[in-house]
């Protein structure tokens, strides 16, 4: 089997953008003589329809190797999602039952739902047995169309590398963003939230995922038709309201990449306690063609009409209400402005 063969060769270590926190116990460690040593409970949440079914096919190939590497010392539970928001429910139940880790298997959409499952009613989900001191960690095996969140850590889509991270068991605390709307439910995101043209492009791209990463190009082209830049009111860190004229797109990054590899918020990182907020103003369709390479390599911050700032909260409203300014987070359509975006620092333990 291909995964078993790969295990026999030396594997390159993934690169990281920051120093790790002190290591947790190795998930496969069996050398401990402690009487408290026990098998760890890992729940893998898989979207079998992700990436046009490729996620499900790859998962079936991967599962024997995963059991080979982790099955001796861990209880492995697989849960296949059956539709939208199912991963949220599975995650909440796994945490309440005391799982050591919930691992998202798929793309940014699956990860997004799993992260939302860590919360309920505005608070982190807690275990039924409050006497158990364990914290449920978040894990990721990126097998989706975009897998943009993984890029910030330098992770590839190689599932063997992902499993080795689980074997190593290193954990770090990461930040999560929360989006609020007056009278609406809270919504959480781990990667990038965005407003206006980019959000509209993401909305259209979601309809063409059968074309792989090409869906982002198709979505962007469709979003350009009839697009108009809009004046927005923005309040950063609960300060004074500011007018931003002719906004083309506004991106709020907890991590760096979106849209299939576009490094839109190049200074963001989910461990620094702040968002990077990047605003594009008065862009024309030809600006994107001429400057697309800068958006992908993260050098666009020096371009005219591009503003970057750090923030722990940001509120965004239209100057003239049209109820037509798209909002999305982690590639998921959330509706329209107004919205407030706030950081929750170090709220989740992630296996990295």
Residue 258 forms beta bridges with which residues? 262
Query: What does DSSP say about strands 306-311 and 275-281: parallel, antiparallel, or unpaired?
Result: antiparallel
Q: d(Cα 26, Cα 170) in Å, to the nearest integer?
A: 8
What's the token pair of residue 172? 């770090």
Based on the residue annotation, tell me whether 330 is a catalytic residue of this protein: no
User: Is residue 351 within 8 Å of 171, Cβ to Cβ?
Assistant: yes
Neighbours of 275 (CB within 10 A): 28
Q: Which helix (H) or strand (E) holds 2?
A: helix 2-7
Q: d(Cα 100, Cα 138) in Å, to the nearest integer?
A: 9
What's the token pair of residue 109? 């959409």
Question: Checking phi first, is residue 169 left (phi over 0); if not, alpha (psi -120 to 50) or beta?
Answer: left
| DSSP string over 291-323 | HHHHHHHT-GGGSTTEEEEEESEEEEEESS--S
The beta-strand segments (E) located in 119-184 are 119-120, 123-124, 137-142, 171-180
Neighbours of 147 (CB within 10 A): 23
User: Residue 345: CA atoms inside 13 Å, Cβ hemisphere, count?
Assistant: 8
Q: At 84, phi and psi to the nearest 5?
A: -55, 140
User: Is residue 178 within 8 Å of 168, Cβ to Cβ?
Assistant: no
* DSSP-based three-state secondary structure for 322: coil
Query: What does DSSP say about strands 40-46 and 74-80: parallel, antiparallel, or unpaired?
Result: parallel
What's the token pair of residue 108? 């940014």
Q: 41, 100, 108, 148: which is the annotated catalytic residue? A: 108
What's the token pair of residue 173? 């605390």
Q: d(Cα 315, Cα 233) in Å, to the nearest integer?
A: 8
Residues annotated catalytic, as ranges: 108
């Amino acid at each position: 089997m291909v995964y078993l063969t790969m295990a026999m060769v030396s594997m390159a270590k993934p690169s990281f953008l920051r120093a790790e926190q002190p290591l947790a116990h190795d998930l496969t460690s069996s050398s401990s003589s402690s009487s408290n040593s026990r098998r760890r409970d890992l729940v893998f949440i898989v979207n079998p329809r992700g990436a046009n079914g490729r996620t499900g096919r790859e998962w079936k190939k991967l599962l024997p190797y995963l059991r080979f590497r982790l099955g001796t010392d861990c209880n492995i539970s697989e849960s296949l999602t059956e539709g939208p928001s199912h991963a949220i429910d599975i995650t909440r139940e796994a945490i309440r039952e005391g799982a050591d880790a919930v691992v998202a298997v798929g793309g940014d959409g699956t990860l997004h739902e799993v992260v939302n499952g860590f919360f309920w009613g505005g608070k982190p989900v807690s275990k039924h047995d409050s006497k158990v001191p364990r914290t449920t960690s978040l894990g990721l095996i990126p097998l989706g169309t975009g897998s943009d969140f993984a890029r910030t850590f330098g992770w590839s889509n190689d599932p063997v590398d992902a499993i080795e991270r689980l074997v190593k068991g290193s954990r770090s605390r990461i930040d999560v963003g929360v989006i609020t709307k007056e009278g609406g439910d809270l919504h959480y995101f781990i990667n990038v939230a965005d407003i206006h043209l980019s959000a509209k492009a993401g909305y259209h791209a979601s309809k063409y995922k059968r074309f792989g990463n090409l869906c982002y190009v198709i979505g962007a082209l469709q979003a350009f038709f009839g697009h108009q830049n809009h004046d927005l009111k923005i309040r950063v860190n609960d300060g004074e309201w500011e007018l931003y004229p002719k906004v083309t797109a506004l991106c709020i990054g907890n991590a760096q990449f979106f849209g299939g590899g576009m490094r839109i918020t190049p200074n963001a990182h989910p461990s620094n306690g702040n968002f990077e907020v990047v605003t594009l103003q008065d862009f024309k369709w030809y600006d994107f063609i001429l400057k697309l390479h800068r958006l992908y390599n993260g050098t666009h911050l020096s371009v005219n009409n591009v503003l970057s700032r750090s923030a722990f909260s940001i509120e965004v409203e239209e100057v003239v209400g049209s109820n037509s300014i798209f909002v999305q987070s982690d590639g998921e359509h959330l509706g329209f402005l107004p919205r407030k975006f706030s950081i929750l620092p170090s709220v989740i333990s992630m296996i990295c």
